[in-house]
Chains A and B, each alone.
Chain A
């Protein structure tokens, strides 16, 4: 792309592209700019012509959780996850905590498939969750298509992730946490066109237009809609914290003492390595 197309700004979008692929190319082409999707770029460690961009999509999973919390009858919700990396763990914890903002007795069973894209395991995991009585599921895998179609086929509700999956299950799709990368890419391209320096560390949330929610589906009740809208409005003001004390991990260790909170911008959240109380499952 650099040699042939003259590209000067590259977006290797995948988690696995950072090291060694992007770092090797960045050293080989010092005049090109590389921005990686994820949380891996570190000041003082990685080259200045590289960087990372990501969004606070955990807030979207918290909003998913609120709608899920209203929709569940069994008080069991489920999460199909790829790998236990910080961004995935934050999404799982946020989904459960959103649901617990509705009903603190709700639990969330998580199943890790081990890979970003493993359709057969994703289908098996979804079926296993429904077999256990889970009636609302969401996920963090590359393509939620199998999860959404399998869950809806079994009669469970679904919350989406990454993009809008409502066309796959119009009646069962509640809402979804979506990326809004257009705003991020436009910012980079405009800065490049204006010959301005590109930021190395780019983050944003709902208020910054990095993340958005799918329109609420027909199965969402008025009560759920009100709590969803009110919480979203709070998030738009900035400073909303999903992770706040008193909070323990599901192994009983302290995450945050009473009064302590971690807003979406807290850098500690990018090294999350635990599941909170109420999540059934293990990171290892």
Chain B
């Protein structure tokens, strides 16, 4: 359960996405990924940060099952981390499921 990702990298990437979303809002660029992060969709109250795959039959899966119960009851929640190299999930799914 140790941190495996330098926090600067995380912030830099998110900063990049934020800039992209702002650009999309101004009509400079438009992509489906950026459109997902328009201010209208910023209503989610909670966020989860994992340390391993969400289907690990273990620590992370237990948290993901708890978070999934919220998703059913309370709308959108955000997740971070938990991907393995070569994971076939679409990148945008990491932030919004």
Report yes or no: B56 in contact with A4, Cβ–Cβ below 8 A.
Answer: no
Q: Is the interface of A mostly helix, strand, loop or mixed?
A: mixed
Q: Is the interface of B mostly helix, strand, loop or mixed?
A: mixed
Per the 8 Å Cβ criterion, residues 148-192 of A in contact with B are 148, 161-165, 168, 178-186, 188-189, 192
Per the 8 Å Cβ criterion, residues 37-61 of B in contact with A are 37, 42-53, 56-61
Interface centre among B21, B43, B60, B96 (most CB of A within 10 A): B60
Jot down 16 A-B pairs with beta carbons below 8 A, ordered by A: A1-B49, A1-B78, A1-B80, A4-B42, A4-B95, A7-B44, A10-B46, A10-B49, A14-B50, A15-B1, A15-B2, A16-B1, A163-B58, A165-B57, A178-B62, A186-B73
Interface centre among A8, A142, A144, A192 (most CB of B within 10 A): A142
Q: Is residue A262 contacting chain B, with contact meaning CB distance below 8 A?
A: no
**B50–chain A nearest beta-carbon distance, Å:** 6
Task: Write out the residue numbers on chain B whose beta carbons fall within 8 Å of the beta carbon of A196.
Answer: none
Task: Write out the residue numbers on chain B whose beta carbons fall within 8 Å of the beta carbon of A181.
Answer: 62-63, 65-67
Number of chain A residues whose Cβ lies closer than 8 Å to a Cβ of chain B: 49
Supply 17 further A-B pairs (C-beta < 8 A) apart from A10-B48, A189-B70: A4-B18, A6-B43, A10-B46, A11-B48, A14-B51, A16-B51, A21-B7, A142-B1, A145-B56, A148-B57, A165-B58, A179-B62, A183-B66, A185-B67, A185-B70, A186-B70, A189-B74
Report yes or no: A7 in contact with B78, Cβ–Cβ below 8 A.
Answer: yes
Expressed in whole angstroms, the Cα–Cα distance for A11 and B44 within the complex equals: 13
Q: Is residue A132 contacting chain B, with contact meaning CB distance below 8 A?
A: no
CB < 8 Å: which of B46, B59, B67, B78 contacts A162?
A: B59
Contact A13 to B50, CB < 8 A, known contacts A179-B62, A181-B62? yes
Per the 8 Å Cβ criterion, residues 9-36 of A in contact with B are 9-17, 21, 24
Q: Is residue B9 contacting chain A, with contact meaning CB distance below 8 A?
A: no
**B35–chain A nearest beta-carbon distance, Å:** 13
Interface centre among A1, A5, A17, A180 (most CB of B within 10 A): A5
Contact A13 to B58, CB < 8 A, known contacts A3-B18, A4-B37, A181-B66? no
Residue of B nearest to A117 (CB): B52
Residue of B nearest to A141 (CB): B58
Complex A-B, nearest 8 residue pairs according to Cβ-Cβ distance, in ascending order: A181-B66, A182-B69, A6-B42, A14-B51, A7-B47, A143-B58, A143-B56, A179-B62
Task: Write out the residue numbers on chain B whose beta carbons fall within 8 Å of the beta carbon of A197.
Answer: none
